[in-house]
């Protein structure tokens, strides 16, 4: 048996191309005569539009068209509410171009199409919009007051949705409590900041009536469906493809951004290809963001730290629109008990409109907030009870024998009951503490303090429901001429390395080299059943679909090869791109030969075709070349639909040094123990974790989208929005733990978002531990900035 | 983020550049472009004409003489940072430059450009103040010399006339028995500092401070000299108590209002810490140099 590729550290197949600069992003697609788009965007957070005068812009040289909402016909609409929910009583969604009023700075008001982006940017300055500014309230807690200015005139208290979920009998748990810990925590807004901003290009073919769209999206199939329905075209006449895409992190899954509708629309109207390449400023003010939540959480506990119940009430900032419904808040509310048993839960949230760019899931999607809330509370509980914070965790973790552990009453974001399927939570905690040397650390900390240095140990435990449905599919075909294996699936890649892990899964079933598996994703012209890339789901959902499909093709190959070699199917071995009879390696046919032989019409294109004629036929029956039920070729399509989310988890810990003179922090060590079930490729898993930790470090210490009190973004650029550089991100020591998921054939769980979830808690608990001797005040807000540390140390002292 | 339309010329002499500048009021000099191009792309600046001075041979090269270092206007920051001759004459420069942006930015950015740009948080203006350097300036009326103490008027504003340009930056060599230090705190490596302190202290044979020069960036509307702190140090042996007193005086030089990165109180705290640390390092280096 050849080495299984599943689990191997196979080098990423896409890298050679990408590092040579041969990647093809939207802006690299040559489109002769393409026109370029720029948008007039609102300079006000809330305003009435009194008039828009486009005349001067329309008359400029090089300007092909200027559109306002009045020029859009059927496209002048409210965008779809993607995920309705009964609790979402006041859904409001964005429009392609503002109609009569604006709801955030950066909202698209008019679109200019011109010969190049320079001219388009000149022209947007010539569009004269008369606004009447309205009052705004940016503060989340103030926004829900009765007299607060409203984002949507008819939505009282700015509350879009209010939802309560309950597990067990929380009131009883609080009545029985020997101790109650209360905490209020806040996580601020950030943005995904993908390296490639969003981009879209479109070409309309008048002769065939076909619309070709290149969209840097995570969801081409859904974009295709939506475009077809809104533009009134047959789905087969619209092809959406996502070529190489430079990062997404959730921001590129929204459908629709204004440009995603308007660029194809303009291409059809103007009869020329049209391109929109979003710039960084537009990405900051026009593309979705996430994170602000304020949680007020209470734990009911016994004196020895057993948590009996949890109550959490939180506010979720949804920006000006809520196309994704309550998804983020729902993930946060159902992840609120973390890895702990907590048999009684009451969790309530309000999703609140603010006059800011819309909020949709960003890597982590509510989990960093939930993790920060429960983990800060666990530390506080331990502190108040005078118990060791790790021991309190150990006493409450879901035990190995508790799995599958259901939280009856909580419905996860996939609309299904929440069940932690598998894991070894206690072992993960032990591993991280042992690896970081928790026993020796106390002495180190003492010694450092004697030298006037302050080091602390931070730790955060997270859980993540991954691999959400409903389904994905795949189509696999062995190419008759080359014997190469083509794998198609509907979701898309933004740099994660899908092509590598999907090739590994396929190679194992078909006995071919990983390099001979060509994975094509994100092109509705190739495969158009499926959902999208989000929710740490590609490996779980597409991975298992590909596995199931590969098994089917394997069966076909075994059958055909057995016929050709006149041997029993059970004796056929697939290895090295060949099928041979076990123990008789000379009795072999290549996959190319098998694939050729399985086509009744075989031209002698090449050697494989010629040699395949020397074998017995691939189909073993009398009568017509293709018997009833036979199909030409070695190919199959299959689908995988998960029963419900499969739950990954992990613990991160760090040694953090704080310099009180500067209030600066430094990660001296950063350790991650994680379990994403069976790993398809540990190198890629580690890449996902490191990237996640980097984004987590951003959210923990650096990144905060800031608005002034009028709702103007204050740091919409990379100078002022502090995305950490490589120099700010610590090396991560990663320890793997593998508990196979019982829910899918491959035993895998998602890992895409995991890395970013606990970092805020790791940093904050480490800083709190380091500065304990200086009497540090409560730290319950991330990003935790140096100035916040300064304030928590008591502010300016006149020593 | 595309610049508006502009004309572009590449003079080959300072005179030509100055003439071009005088002929078009709405013109701007382009040196390394590391600050200017961003302002164009953001359309903060909208000049009719860009005068690219990078091809002027007379603006290239560094001279390290017995008394001073002459850095001509088109010398890139990276070249100065890597120059051993400069380092031998005044080691403060390398220490400061290593905190200015990132290598790729320093590969193009110029010393003169940074000083002309006069960002209140930039390191090089503070360096020029502490070293008591000067800039050579040329305009239609001829040349003149502007002392550092007369140069910086406000954030992004100098005392150069609209039609003048810097042709060279001159920095005195490090005086004997003098120690130096530069420290800053920036949120990310290579960012503009929330606060930065330059310290130069000269000791006599008894270890008494005969001269102290302290300057700061990031704490006011320009780079500033910390004269009240200097006064605390002069004449002392730079013992810890004196340094602490000087640091306290330095705090009061903070005039920057609260901004999104730092409150005034926190900046005062940073200035206190950084002053203590830079003066202590400068003192120790001065002692080492005296011993050597
Ligand atoms: C990512 C990044 C990070 C940075 N970080 C820092 C930092 O931490 N600290 C820091 O100090 N700087 C930083 N900078 C700015 C950098 O140092 C610039 O190089 C410098 O401020 C300007 O130098 P330049 O040669 O590029 O000038 P340009 O950008 O070409 O010009 C800047 C201004 O100076 C004028 N000018 C240029 N030369 C002359 C002259 N000879 N006479 C008169 N006027 C002239 C120009 O007309 C223009 O107004 C950063 C820049 C970037 C892009």
Distance B38 CA to ligand 1 centre (A): 10
Q: Which residue has the higher pLDDT, A104 or A2?
A: A104
Residues B216 and B260 in one domain: yes
The residue of B37, B187, B279 whose CB has the most chain A CBs within 10 angstroms, and thus the best one to mutate to test that interface, is B187
Question: What's phi and psi for A486, nearest 5 deg?
Answer: -100, 130
Cβ pair A358, A318 in contact under 8 A: yes
Q: Element (H or E) spanning A418, and its range?
A: strand A417-420
Query: What is the predicted pLDDT for the residue at A626?
Result: 86
Residue B1 maps to a domain: no
Among protein residues, the one with the nearest Cα to ligand 1's atom 44 is B116
Strands B62-64 and B49-52: unpaired
Question: Which residues of chain A make contact with B187, given a CB cutoff of 8 A?
Answer: 702, 722, 786
Residues B280 and B188 in one domain: yes
Query: What is the predicted pLDDT for the residue at A9?
Result: 98
Using CB atoms, pick whichever of A121, A662, A786 lies closest to residue B2. A121
Cβ pair B124, B80 in contact under 8 A: no
Peptide bond into A256 cis (omega under 30): yes
Helix axes A389-396, A367-385, angle to 10 degrees: 120
What percent of chain B has a predicted confidence (pLDDT) above 70? 100
Helices and strands (H, E) in chain B, number of each type? 12, 14
pLDDT digits (tens, 9 = 90+) for A553-602: 999 999 999 999 999 999 999 999 999 999 999 999 999 999 999 988 76
Residues B111 and B197 in one domain: no
Residues A623 and A662 in one domain: no
Residue A113 maps to a domain: yes
Task: Say if B270 is an interface residue toward chain A (CB within 8 Å).
Answer: yes
pLDDT at A799 over 70: no
Residue A13 maps to a domain: no
pLDDT at A604 over 70: no
- CATH number for the domain including B128? 3.30.465.10
Give yes or no for residue B100 CB within 6 A of ligand 1.
yes
Residue A108 maps to a domain: yes
Question: Comparing C-alpha atoms, which of A255, A403, A387 is closest to residue A339?
Answer: A403
Task: Say if B23 is an interface residue toward chain A (CB within 8 Å).
Answer: no
Residues B165 and B74 in one domain: yes
- Chain-centre distance for alpha carbon A189: 16
Q: Indicate which atom in ligand 1 lies nearest the CA of residue B29.
A: 47
Residues A398 and A476 in one domain: no
Residues A728 and A636 in one domain: no
Which residues numbered 156-195 in B keep a CB inside 8 Å of some CB on A? 185, 187-192, 194
Q: Indicate which atom in ligand 1 lies nearest the CA of residue B45.
A: 49
- Integer angstrom CA distances of residue A340 from A400, A405, A751: 12, 10, 20
Residues A624 and A655 in one domain: no
A728 CA: distance to closest CA in chain B (Å)? 7
Query: What is the predicted pLDDT for the residue at B105?
Result: 98
Give yes or no for residue B109 CB within 6 A of ligand 1.
yes
Residue B190 maps to a domain: yes
Residue A569 maps to a domain: yes
Residues A587 and A697 in one domain: no
Give yes or no for residue B156 CB within 6 A of ligand 1.
no
Residues B191 and B213 in one domain: yes
B105: Cα within 13 Å, side-chain hemisphere? 18
Cβ pair A362, A419 in contact under 8 A: no
Give yes or no for residue B196 CB within 6 A of ligand 1.
no
Residues B70 and B42 in one domain: no
- Confidence band for A23, pLDDT divided at 50, 70 and 90: very high
- Integer angstrom CA distances of residue A284 from A42, A319, A495, A717, B215: 14, 13, 21, 7, 36
Are B262 and A724 an interchain contact pair (Cβ–Cβ within 8 Å)?
Answer: no
Report the domain count for chain B.
3
A227: Cα within 13 Å, side-chain hemisphere? 34
Residue A148 maps to a domain: no
- Integer angstrom CA distances of residue A685 from A7, A173, A494, A681, A738: 10, 40, 15, 6, 12
Distance CA B20, CA B51 (A): 7
pLDDT digits (tens, 9 = 90+) for A703-752: 999 999 999 999 999 999 999 999 999 999 999 999 999 999 999 999 99
Give yes or no for residue B125 CB within 6 A of ligand 1.
no
Residues A420 and A506 in one domain: no
Query: Which alpha helices (H) appear in B24-91, and where do they start and end?
Result: 36-41, 77-82, 84-89
**Cα–Cα–Cα angle for A470, A745, A733, rounded to 5 degrees:** 95
The residue of A662, A728, A729, A793 whose CB has the most chain B CBs within 10 angstroms, and thus the best one to mutate to test that interface, is A662
- Confidence band for B34, pLDDT divided at 50, 70 and 90: very high
Question: Which residues of chain A make contact with B263, given a CB cutoff of 8 A?
Answer: 787, 790-791
- CATH number for the domain including A236? 3.90.1170.50
Using CB atoms, pick whichever of A117, A121, A662 lies closest to residue B270. A662
- Confidence band for A311, pLDDT divided at 50, 70 and 90: very high
Q: What is the mean pLDDT of chain A?
A: 96
Among protein residues, the one with the nearest Cα to ligand 1's atom 27 is B113
Give yes or no for residue B110 CB within 6 A of ligand 1.
yes
Q: Whole-model pTM?
A: 0.97
Distance CA B26, CA B30 (A): 13
Residues B156 and B228 in one domain: no
- CATH number for the domain including B220? 3.30.390.50
Give me the residues paired with residue B50 across strands: B8, B28
Give me the residues paired with residue A647 across strands: A465
Is the interface score ipTM higher than 0.95?
Answer: yes
Are A720 and B260 an interchain contact pair (Cβ–Cβ within 8 Å)?
Answer: yes
Are B188 and A724 an interchain contact pair (Cβ–Cβ within 8 Å)?
Answer: yes
Residue B277 maps to a domain: yes
Cβ pair B96, B127 in contact under 8 A: yes
Residue A330 maps to a domain: yes
Helix axes B240-251, B264-291, angle to 10 degrees: 140
Give yes or no for residue B166 CB within 6 A of ligand 1.
yes
Residues near A552 by beta carbon (within 8 Å), at least 6 away in sequence? A476, A636, A638
pLDDT digits (tens, 9 = 90+) for A338-357: 999 999 999 999 999 999 99
Query: What is the predicted pLDDT for the residue at A629?
Result: 85
Residues A209 and A311 in one domain: no
Distance CA A399, CA A334 (A): 19
- Integer angstrom CA distances of residue A317 from A289, A328, A352, A447: 10, 10, 5, 44
- CATH number for the domain including B13? 3.30.43.10
- Of A229, A259, A286, the residue at which a domain comes to its end is A286
Distance CA B118, CA B192 (A): 12
Cβ pair A544, A506 in contact under 8 A: no
Are A728 and B188 an interchain contact pair (Cβ–Cβ within 8 Å)?
Answer: yes
Give me the residues paired with residue A648 across strands: A464
Residues A215 and A254 in one domain: yes
Distance B110 CA to ligand 1 centre (A): 7
End-to-end CA distance of chain A: give it in Å, rounded.
74
Distance B109 CA to ligand 1 centre (A): 6
Is B39 exposed, middle or buried, given 0-12, 13-18 or 19+ CB atoms closer than 10 A? middle
Question: Which residues of chain B make contact with A715, given a CB cutoff of 8 A?
Answer: 260
Helices and strands (H, E) in chain A, number of each type? 20, 29
Q: Domain containing B30: what range?
A: 7-52
Residue B2 maps to a domain: no
- Of A236, A266, A286, the residue at which a domain comes to its end is A286
Distance CA B169, CA A177 (A): 72
Residues A362 and A425 in one domain: yes
Query: What is the predicted pLDDT for the residue at A623?
Result: 80
pLDDT digits (tens, 9 = 90+) for B38-69: 999 999 999 999 999 999 999 999 999 999 99
Residues B89 and B155 in one domain: yes
Q: Indicate which atom in ligand 1 lies nearest the CA of residue B192.
A: 8
Residues A393 and A259 in one domain: no
Distance CA B149, CA B272 (A): 23
Residue A254 maps to a domain: yes
Taking residues A605-628, report their average pLDDT: 79
Residues A251 and A308 in one domain: no
Q: What is the mean pLDDT of chain B?
A: 97
Mutation pick for ligand 1 pocket among B109, B191, B222 (CB with most ligand atoms within 8 Å): B109
Report the domain count for chain A.
3
Among protein residues, the one with the nearest Cα to ligand 1's atom 39 is B113
Sheet containing strand B27-30, edge to edge, reads B7-9, B49-52, B27-30
Residues A669 and A746 in one domain: yes
User: Among A444-453, A611-620, A656-665, whose mean pLDDT is lowest?
Assistant: A611-620
Q: Domain containing A217: what range?
A: 31-134+192-286
């Amino acid at each position: 048996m050849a080495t299984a590729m599943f689990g191997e550290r196979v080098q990423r197949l896409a890298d050679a191309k990408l590092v040579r600069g041969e990647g093809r992003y939207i802006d690299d697609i040559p489109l002769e005569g393409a026109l370029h788009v720029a948008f007039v965007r609102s300079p006000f957070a809330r305003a009435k539009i009194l008039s828009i005068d486009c005349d001067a812009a329309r008359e400029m040289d090089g300007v092909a068209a200027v559109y306002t909402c009045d020029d859009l016909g059927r496209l002048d609409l409210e965008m779809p509410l993607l995920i309705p929910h009964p609790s979402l009583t006041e859904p409001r969604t964005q429009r392609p171009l503002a109609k009569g009023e604006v709801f955030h700075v950066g909202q698209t008001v008019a679109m200019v199409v011109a010969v190049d982006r320079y001219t388009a940017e000149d022209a947007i300055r010539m569009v004269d919009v008369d606004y009447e500014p309205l009052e705004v309230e940016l503060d989340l807690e103030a926004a829900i007051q009765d007299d607060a200015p409203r984002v949507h005139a008819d939505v009282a208290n700015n509350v879009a949705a209010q939802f309560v979920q309950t597990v067990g009998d929380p009131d009883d748990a609080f009545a029985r409590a020997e101790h109650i810990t209360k905490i209020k925590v806040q996580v601020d807004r950030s943005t995904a900041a993908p390296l490639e901003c969003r981009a879209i290009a479109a070409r309309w073919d008048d002769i065939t009536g076909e619309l070709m769209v290149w969209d840097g999206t995570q969801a081409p199939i859904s974009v295709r469906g939506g475009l077809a329905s809104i533009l009134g075209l047959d789905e087969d006449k619209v092809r959406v493809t996502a070529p190489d895409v430079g990062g997404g992190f959730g921001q590129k899954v929204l459908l629709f951004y204004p440009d995603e509708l308007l660029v194809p629309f303009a291409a059809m109207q103007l009869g020329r290809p049209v391109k929109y390449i979003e710039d960084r400023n537009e990405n900051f003010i026009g593309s979705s963001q996430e994170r602000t939540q304020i949680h007020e959480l209470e734990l009911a506990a016994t004196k020895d730290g057993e948590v009996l119940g949890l109550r959490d009430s939180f506010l979720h900032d949804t920006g000006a629109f809520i196309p994704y419904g309550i998804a983020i808040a729902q993930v946060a509310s159902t992840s609120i008990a973390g890895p702990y048993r907590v048999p009684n839960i009451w969790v309530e949230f309000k999703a609140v409109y603010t006059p800011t760019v819309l909020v949709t899931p960003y890597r982590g999607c509510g989990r960093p907030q939930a993790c920060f809330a429960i983990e800060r509370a666990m530390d506080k509980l331990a502190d108040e009870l005078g118990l060791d914070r790790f021991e309190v965790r150990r006493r409450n973790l879901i035990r190995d024998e508790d799995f599958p552990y259901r939280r009856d009453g909580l419905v996860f974001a996939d609309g299904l009951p929440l069940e932690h399927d598998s894991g070894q939570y206690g072992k993960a905690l032990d591993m991280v503490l042992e690896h970081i040397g928790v026993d020796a650390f106390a002495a180190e900390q003492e010694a450092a303090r004697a030298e006037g240095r302050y080091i602390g140990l931070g730790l955060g435990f997270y859980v993540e429901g991954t691999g959400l449905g409903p389904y994905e599919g795949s189509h696999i075909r062995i190419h008759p001429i080359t014997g190469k294996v083509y794998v198609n699936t509907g979701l898309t890649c933004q740099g994660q390395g899908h092509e590598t892990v999907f090739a590994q899964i396929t190679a194992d079933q078909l006995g071919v080299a990983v390099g001979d598996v060509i994975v094509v994703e994100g092109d509705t012209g190739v495969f158009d059943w499926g959902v999208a890339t989000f929710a740490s789901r590609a490996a779980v959902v597409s991975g298992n679909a590909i596995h199931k499909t590969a098994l089917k093709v394997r069966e076909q190959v075994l059958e055909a090869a057995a016929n050709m070699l006149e041997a029993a199917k059970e004796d056929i071995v697939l290895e090295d791109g060949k099928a041979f009879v076990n123990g008789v390696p000379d009795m072999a046919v290549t996959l190319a030969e098998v694939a050729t032989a399985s086509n009744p019409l075989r031209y002698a294109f090449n050697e494989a075709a010629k040699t395949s004629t020397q074998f017995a036929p691939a189909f073993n029956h009398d009568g017509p070349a293709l018997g009833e039920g036979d199909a030409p070729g070695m190919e199959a399509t299959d689908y995988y639909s998960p029963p419900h989310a499969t739950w990954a988890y992990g613990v991160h810990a760090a040694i953090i040094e704080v310099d009180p003179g500067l209030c600066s922090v430094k990660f001296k060590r950063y350790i991650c123990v994680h379990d994403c079930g069976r790993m398809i490729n540990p190198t890629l898993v580690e890449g996902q974790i490191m990237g996640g930790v980097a984004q987590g470090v951003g959210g923990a210490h650096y990144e905060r989208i800031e608005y002034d009190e009028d709702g103007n973004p204050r740091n919409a650029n990379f100078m002022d929005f502090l995305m950490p550089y490589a120099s700010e991100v610590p090396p991560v020591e990663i320890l793997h733990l593998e508990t196979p998921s019982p829910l899918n054939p491959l035993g895998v769980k998602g890992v895409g978002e995991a890395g970013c979830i606990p970092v805020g808690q790791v940093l904050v608990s480490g800083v709190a531990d380091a500065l304990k001797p200086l009497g540090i005040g409560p730290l319950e807000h991330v990003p935790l900035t140096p100035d916040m540390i300064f304030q928590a140390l008591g502010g300016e002292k006149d020593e | 983020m595309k610049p508006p339309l502009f004309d572009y010329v590449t003079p080959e002499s300072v005179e030509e550049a100055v003439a071009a500048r005088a002929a078009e009021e709405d013109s701007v000099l382009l040196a390394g472009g590391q600050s200017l191009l961003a302002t164009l792309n953001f359309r903060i600046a909208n000049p009719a004409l860009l005068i690219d001075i990078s091809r002027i041979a007379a603006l290239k090269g560094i001279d390290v003489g017995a008394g001073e270092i002459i850095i001509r206007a088109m010398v890139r920051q990276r070249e100065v940072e890597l120059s051993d001759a400069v380092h031998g004459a005044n080691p403060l420069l390398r220490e400061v430059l290593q905190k200015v942006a990132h290598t790729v930015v320093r590969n193009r950015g110029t010393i003169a450009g940074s000083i002309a740009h006069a960002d209140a948080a930039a390191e090089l203006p503070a360096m020029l103040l502490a070293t008591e350097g000067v800039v050579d300036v040329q305009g239609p009326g001829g040349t003149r010399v502007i002392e550092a103490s007369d140069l910086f008027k406000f954030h992004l504003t100098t005392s150069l006339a609209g039609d003048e340009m810097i042709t060279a930056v001159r920095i005195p060599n490090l005086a004997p028995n003098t120690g130096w230090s530069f420290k800053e705190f920036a949120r990310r490596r290579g960012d503009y500092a929330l606060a930065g302190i330059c310290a130069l202290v000269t000791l006599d044979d008894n270890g008494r401070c005969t001269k102290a020069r302290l300057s700061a960036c990031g704490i006011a509307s320009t780079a500033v000299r910390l004269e009240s702190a200097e006064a605390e140090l002069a004449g002392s042996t730079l013992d810890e108590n004196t340094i602490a007193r000087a640091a306290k005086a330095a705090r009061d030089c903070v005039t920057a209002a609260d901004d999104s990165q730092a409150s005034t109180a926190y900046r005062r705290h940073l200035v206190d810490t950084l002053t203590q640390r830079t003066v202590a390092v400068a003192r120790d280096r001065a002692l080492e140099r005296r011993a050597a």
